[in-house]
């Protein structure tokens, strides 16, 4: 399947059930753990469970605007396109990630017996009971998991940008002399 078809699938079928509560850090590396769930294409009726994390950090060199560095998403191995091609693909579609380094690491890949809906309920309950406010829960197509995880990261970037802007304005107001 080509990159456009995978993107369209991910766009239509990705659901963000839980997101990290805190905004992304502007000064240090932010770890974004996630659980990704998908209907198994090999074992119908079962669910693929992919656990991992994305480390979002500032690059050690200054990059031009909207030049993200994607690492560890295995775009070449699974989609047969380079990380730079994916960044350009997204940019052409109006999706601009800040010039940060997005490093993906998988911690486990499992097959869970039971339907996708059962898995969603199970992991939602598990994360709630553990009072886990950092782990995202993402549902999407198995073959386009990278794009689904990037949608989680993108949603966090957008939400954090609003908070960053608010903090900047508050700091600016505090520094203004009283009228």
Where do the domains of the chain lie? 3-175
- Do the bridges between strand 15-18 and strand 136-139 make them parallel or antiparallel, or are there none, so unpaired? antiparallel
Over the chain, what is the mean pLDDT? Answer: 86
Rounded to an integer, what distance in angstroms lies between the CA atom of residue 133 and that of residue 131?
6
pTM here?
0.83
SS3 (DSSP) at 81: coil
Res 65: pLDDT: 58
Residues 65, 69, 74, 80, CA torsion sign: positive
N- to C-terminal Cα separation, the chain: 62
Closest to 20 measured CA to CA, from 31, 12, 10, 4: 31
Res 77: pLDDT: 85
Strand partners, 70: 102
Res 62: pLDDT: 54
The pLDDT of 128-153, averaged and rounded, is: 95
| Confidence check: pLDDT of 179 > 60 | yes
SS3 (DSSP) at 107: strand
Query: Could you tell me the pLDDT band of residue 80, with boundaries at 50, 70 and 90?
Result: confident
Higher pLDDT, 118 or 82: 118
Res 61: pLDDT: 54
Closest to 32 measured CA to CA, from 162, 168, 176, 160: 160
């Amino acid at each position: 399947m080509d990159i456009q078809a995978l993107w369209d699938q991910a766009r239509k079928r990705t659901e963000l059930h839980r997101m990290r509560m805190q905004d992304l850090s502007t000064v240090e590396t932010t770890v974004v753990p996630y659980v990704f769930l998908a209907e198994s294409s090999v074992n119908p009726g079962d669910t693929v469970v992919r656990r991992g994390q994305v480390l979002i950090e500032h690059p050690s060199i200054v990059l031009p605007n909207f030049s993200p560095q994607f690492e560890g998403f295995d775009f070449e191995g699974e989609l047969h396109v380079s990380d730079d091609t994916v960044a350009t693909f997204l940019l052409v579609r109006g999706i601009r990630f800040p010039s940060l380094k997005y490093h993906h690491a998988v911690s486990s890949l499992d097959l869970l017996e039971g339907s996708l809906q059962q898995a969603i309920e199970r992991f939602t309950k598990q994360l709630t009971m553990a009072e886990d406010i950092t782990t995202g829960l993402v549902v999407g197509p198995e073959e386009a998991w990278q794009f689904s995880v990037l949608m989680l990261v993108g949603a966090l970037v957008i939400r954090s940008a609003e908070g960053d802007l608010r903090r900047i304005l508050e700091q600016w107001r505090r520094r203004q002399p009283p009228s």
